[in-house]
Amino acid sequence: MNEYAQTIKATKIALPAVVGLSVSKNISQLKSEYQSELTQSDSLISKYLAKPGIIDDTGMVKVAGCSGFFVTSDGYILTNRHVVCDAQAEYQMVWKDQKYPIRILTMDEKSDIAVLKCEIKNVPYLKLADSDKLELGQTVLAIGNALGEFQNTVSRGIVSGLSRELKTDDQEENNQKFYGMIQTDAAINPGNSGGPLIDLFGRAIGINAVTVLDVENIGFAIPINQTKTILKELLKGNW
């Protein structure tokens, strides 16, 4: 099978296991957080909240969208910690055009990994590859919900670098360092965070995590091997 046919096959294997994560906040919380912006009628936040249907009947507002993926048939989900770490927000899983409640089981700040649980059975899930065996130049696919709106977005690229170190912010108090990251030129857009980086067999080799702003074709994923110990302990009931 040639590479293009293998790409299509891998995509078909992986897509059913990829989920969206909807991030919402109560309008009163938003008013508290963005009081100064909301006093300006021309601010982006004011314009967003003025759109019809943005505030639902319970006063909740969707503020972001991101991605995750099933790793077991009984609803365990991998994603990034940074997309589910706001204690003031509410999170739901979006799968097959339906919303489901989820629980956050654990978050690891150092690795930026989070494990979620949805009480759902017999779901398709991704097998986990051995990310220690990745090769430079290997073809990979990034899957997620680009910008939190465009579901089932697939981008293709290669492994551009291995064992990269990365700082996420120039401000000392917010500086977070990551180690051992996979660098890829597959497009990782806002909303793709938490989705899988897969190989041509449809196996997860990483979790899409970070893109470098104002630079083309540089994105980073957390190697999937970093998740295996956490998942093993959770499935054994030791977490």
For 106-120, the DSSP string reads EEETTTTEEEEE---
Phi/psi of residue 189, each to 5°?
A: -100, 165
Please answer whether residues 181 and 166 qualify as being in contact, where contact means their C-beta atoms are separated by less than 8 angstroms. Answer: yes
Cα–Cα distances (Å) from 177 to 4, 109, 234, in that order, read: 36, 10, 25
Phi/psi of residue 156, each to 5°?
A: -120, 140
Contact residues for 179 (Cβ-Cβ < 8 A; gap 6+)? 163, 165
Q: H helices within the chain, ranges in order? A: 3-14, 27-33, 35-38, 44-49, 225-235
Cα–Cα distances (Å) from 49 to 56, 58, 60, 83, in that order, read: 11, 14, 11, 21
Q: Which amino acids are annotated catalytic?
A: 82, 112, 193
Q: Which residue has the tokens 């003031």?
A: 88
Task: Classify the C-alpha dihedral 70-74-80-82 as positive or negative.
Answer: positive
